[in-house]
Amino acid sequence: MRSIDEIIKEMSDVVADIPGAVKAQKAKGKKVIGVFPIYAPEELVYAAGMFPVGCWGGQVSLTEATKLLPPFACPVMQSITQLSMTGGYDLLDGAILSCPCDTLKCLTQNFQRTCPNIRAIFCTYPQNNKLEGAVTYVLEEFKSVARELEEISGNQITGLALYKSIEIYNENRKVMMEFCDILAKRPGVISAEARYTVMKARWFMDKAEHTALVRELCESLKTAPYQENADRKIVLAGIMTEPVEFVRLLDELGYIVVADEMAYESRQFRTLVPQAVDQFERLARQWQNIEGCSVVYDPEGKRTKRVVQMAQETGANGVLYCMMKFCEHEEFDYPMMRDAVRNLGLPILNIEMDTMSGSQEQNRTRLQAFGEQMEMMKEVL
């Protein structure tokens, strides 16, 4: 059995050279489809014999994006637009773009201008996903996406191919949920950066290959030493913990991530595709089952309840709300989550995330104080 570090390194190598990972898939004869935030029917891409790759922006300098976007657009949108205007997505054969928020709606139009040679496929998810009409609507959307993917790939998406794809993705979801469960029960068994690497590699690896690696990792983690009395255990909430310098700062200051409610992380795999006779209906029903997300209609505040439940079940010492800069959906959710976490007797820190900025000195000061606050509250309790 390989060591934990060896397994993590294999995924870290992928994350460190994303263009290389994409080129490796193209060298196998596969076409590559970019999947943009926040949700995309990746199973359809996989069923068409193509490779889906996550496109959530990155750490770039804004030289061109300001020509198309106002300065108050979120960093994810800003960096995606910058990359699209400077050749960052030239390896793509197609792109699936959804529009869960007003800012991302701009992307569906700007992308056609900035990447005219890349086929843009639009997929609209109804935000009130509990309505039966929403299921019918998104089912037809998926069929439309499938037809366009078939034209790009030259392969028909048969019922059998889609069934196999869904099962591969469900297996990946299951092993990722097992991975998260182990980290919750064995705090500090790996670093925050190692956890981040496993989550991020999922976007740039073949799902079956990623599943095999994470399954191997889980077996090693079950017997590895961990910190039983850690006093800086946190639950993360937000869109994403980028850039990596932020995650490294968490490790430096002794933070241990025991659970997350992040759009880039567990929101992507915590809801399995259910069983049904029709494979397209299975995908549509999965959308109906998604709950507790900032871009999905949530009148009962299930997202807040989920974070509180995570904190209780993991024995977390606090909640770190990673507020994406200028993200209205996340800003709307924060007051409710703040009050609920405080009512639980735990501290919560709202910290602004800018995926394009590597400097973490301001965050360092706030995180140092937050850690001290958690330690003091633990002593009182």
Residues above pLDDT 70, as percent of the chain:
99
* Rounded (10°) CA dihedral 11, 82, 240, 16: 20
**pTM reported for the whole predicted model:** 0.95
Lowest mean pLDDT among 26-40, 104-118, 124-138, 245-259: 104-118
d(CA 95, CA 35): 6
Are the C-beta atoms of 308 and 335 separated by less than 8 Å? no
103 band by pLDDT with thresholds 50, 70 and 90: confident
The whole-number average pLDDT for the span 114-140 is 95
Looking at residue 345, its pLDDT comes to 94
Q: Tell whether the model's pLDDT for residue 156 goes beyond 60.
A: yes
Q: pLDDT averaged over the chain?
A: 95
Phi and psi at residue 84, to the nearest 5°: -70, -25
Q: Tell whether the model's pLDDT for residue 4 goes beyond 80.
A: yes
Strands 318-324 and 256-262: unpaired
151 band by pLDDT with thresholds 50, 70 and 90: very high
Tokens 């735990």 correspond to 346
Residue 100 identity: P
CA atoms within 13 A on the CB side of 213: 21
Q: Which of 303, 291, 315 is nearest to 183 (CA)?
A: 315
Phi and psi at residue 214, to the nearest 5°: -70, -35
Please give the order of strands across the beta sheet that includes 51-54: 51-54, 32-35, 94-97, 119-122
Are the C-beta atoms of 159 and 279 separated by less than 8 Å? yes
100 band by pLDDT with thresholds 50, 70 and 90: confident
Looking at residue 376, its pLDDT comes to 84
Are the C-beta atoms of 202 and 268 separated by less than 8 Å? yes
Looking at residue 381, its pLDDT comes to 56
The whole-number average pLDDT for the span 320-329 is 93
Tens-digit pLDDT profile for residues 333-345: 999 999 999 999 9
d(CA 381, CA 378): 5
Tens-digit pLDDT profile for residues 201-221: 999 999 999 999 999 999 999
The whole-number average pLDDT for the span 26-42 is 96
Going from the N-terminus, what domains does the chain have, and what CATH number goes with each?
30-160 (3.40.50.11890)
Looking at residue 12, its pLDDT comes to 98
Lowest mean pLDDT among 85-94, 128-137, 283-292, 369-378: 369-378
The whole-number average pLDDT for the span 94-123 is 90
Tens-digit pLDDT profile for residues 40-92: 999 999 999 999 999 999 889 899 999 999 888 999 999 999 999 999 999 99
d(CA 203, CA 15): 9
Tens-digit pLDDT profile for residues 225-272: 999 888 899 999 999 999 999 999 999 999 999 999 999 999 999 999
d(CA 163, CA 160): 5
